[in-house]
Amino acid sequence: MNIKVLQINENILAENDRIAKEITEKLKKYNILSFNLMGSPGAGKTKILEQLISGFGNKFLCGVIEGDVAGTFDSQRLKKFDVPIVQINTGGGCHLEAFMIKKGLDQLPLEKIKILFVENVGNLICPAEFQLGIEKNIVVSSTTEGDDKPAKNPLMFKISHLCILNKIDILDPETFDIKRFTSYVKETNPYLEIISASAKTGKNIDKIITKLFELYNIK
């Protein structure tokens, strides 16, 4: 008898990439700048997002897709801003997939939104493997994590267009060597710019905002 082997993984990824392309096209059509925030749990993705949204103020309407395994904790934190938010619960899944973003976009007023932020599930591994059609990837690291994270999770840093090193205000040189961190980042992705910042104090949030536009060649 013939044995049929189904390459489930490949098929799933191919289907995911097809939907991701659709999403990119859609965002282009609506002239939306899009950013996918990724990083470990506790790196400060939501806090950075709060600062960015408040930094953009009324000038540009931001839209947010919040990805979490369960709950609406992060969305609740963003409720104080007058921005459209969609919460996606993956129901145990440790990353977002393109079909989830597609559904999320259906719930957002795309004709009004200028900037779309996706906050991925807190995880440095598989979010890097699933394209979402979101054009720019941002990895949020923090000084409370190991400075060897880029060496341990190279793919995440390879696919990113910007690295935010958060919690610079509480940097402890005994436990976090910023030179070491930088050299690991540059080893995996020589072009990746690192911006040290503090979502808590607001330090360098303005630099990040400038960089977000630069990533789209907007000065």
Which among 133, 117, 110, 108 is positioned nearest to 17, based on CA atoms? 133
Pick from 11, 12, 80, 94 the residue near Zn ion by CB under 5 A: 94
Contact 152, 168 (CB under 8 A): no
Pick from 61, 110, 126, 171 the residue near Zn ion by CB under 5 A: 126
Question: What, of Mg ion, Zn ion, none, does residue 45 touch, CB below 5 to 8 Å by kind?
Answer: Mg ion
Question: What, of Zn ion, Mg ion, none, does residue 126 touch, CB below 5 to 8 Å by kind?
Answer: Zn ion
Residue 178 Cβ vs Zn ion, minimum distance, rounded to whole Å: 29
Distance of CA 102 to the CA centre of its chain: 16
**Binding of Mg ion at residue 145 (CB under 5 A)?**
no
Pick from 45, 95, 149, 167 the residue near Mg ion by CB under 5 A: 45
Can you list the alpha helix ranges (DSSP code H) found in the chain? 8-29, 45-56, 73-78, 98-106, 149-152, 154-158, 178-188, 205-214
Kindly tell me which of 40 and 46 has the beta carbon lying closer to Mg ion.
46
Residues 146-175 within binding reach of Zn ion (CB under 5 A):
none
Reduced 3-state DSSP string for 105-129: HHCCCCCCCCEEEEECCCECCHHHC
* Residues in binding contact with Zn ion, number by CB under 5 A: 3
DSSP 70: S
Selected range binding Zn ion among 2-10, 25-33, 86-94, 208-216, rule: CB under 5 A: 86-94
